Amino acid sequence: MAVDTKNGSKTSHKNVQVVDHPVVQHLLTRIRDYQTPAADFRRYSLSLSQYLVYEASRLIEYRDVKVETPVAEADGIALKDYVILAPVLRAGLILAEAAQKILPAARIYHVGLKRDEKTLEAISYYAKLPESLPPDSRVIVLDPMLATGGSAVAAIDLFHKLGLKTIQLVSFVAAPEGIKRVHDAFADVHITVGSVDKCLNEHGYIVPGLGDAGDRIFGT
């Protein structure tokens, strides 16, 4: 897929969906702005989350069903039963809040990961998964920022180790470095993003990005 955004370089990424809808790009612009107050940041992030998850959920399989309307029989579909939402704490909670509205039957497994500020490697502090999950489950990992990719790879790995192979990732903003790291480890993971930005800075922050997503969402 050809990716060409104002904030990023033109690159070619397979398995990356950039949602270029003007409403999505408007919301992303609002949350990029450092002057956006915390309350507005949260409100815009929640709306953005809804649109990104909606787009990502196109990939969910479905089966044909028939229903009786008050007038006649109609053809319809039913979404696949077993969808797992995996928000990466803390910032992924905002995506989970939106995703739960769109996919109310989905199971939610929280994944606690924190980047070490020096090494930038993800440190796991919470993961409570069952010993097994239905092997045909679809997992949607939710994390607004895909920077070095360490957190996303660690989260995906938890489900991969349980034998789950259909895994997606939804992020507001990704760095090319993070996309590469995810796809080097798990080539089949489909990534839905609002933007592929330019690069990472020396502190592992996405440039231009939006700063620290967790801090801005929670006002810390």
Q: Write out the residues near ligand URA by the rule CB under 6 A.
A: 145, 147, 204-206, 209, 212-214
Q: Which residues lie below 8 Å from residue 145, measured CB to CB, with a gap of 6+?
A: 91, 171, 172, 173, 206, 209, 210, 213
Distance CA 45, CA 15 (A): 24
Which residues sit at the interface with ligand PRP, rule CB under 6 A? 88-91, 113-115, 120, 122, 143-152, 178, 204, 213-214
> Residue 180 — φ and ψ, nearest 5°?
-60, -45
The CB-of-148 to ligand PRP minimum distance in angstroms stands at 3
Q: Of ligand PRP, ligand URA, none, which one does residue 151 interact with (CB within 5 to 8 Å by kind)? A: ligand PRP
Task: Number of helices (H) and strands (E) in the chain: give both, helices first.
Answer: 6, 15
The one catalytic residue among 63, 119, 136, 184: 119
Beta carbon nearer to ligand PRP, 18 or 152? 152
The CB-of-197 to ligand PRP minimum distance in angstroms stands at 12
> Residue 85 — φ and ψ, nearest 5°?
-100, 130
Token digits of residue 28: 């992303």
The CB-of-159 to ligand PRP minimum distance in angstroms stands at 16
Is residue 141 helix, strand or coil?
strand
115 is a catalytic site residue: yes
The CB-of-162 to ligand URA minimum distance in angstroms stands at 26
Beta carbon nearer to ligand URA, 79 or 211? 211
Token digits of residue 65: 């069903």
Q: Which amino acid is at 133?
A: L
Beta carbon nearer to ligand PRP, 156 or 164? 156
Q: Is the peptide bond before 208 cis (omega within 30 degrees of 0)?
A: yes
Beta carbon nearer to ligand PRP, 88 or 167? 88
Beta carbon nearer to ligand PRP, 34 or 72? 34
The CB-of-213 to ligand PRP minimum distance in angstroms stands at 5
Q: Which helix (H) or strand (E) holds 38?
A: helix 38-56
Is residue 59 helix, strand or coil?
helix
The one catalytic residue among 90, 107, 115, 157: 115
215 is a catalytic site residue: yes
> Residue 164 — φ and ψ, nearest 5°?
-85, 135
Return the active site residues. Answer: 115, 119, 212, 215
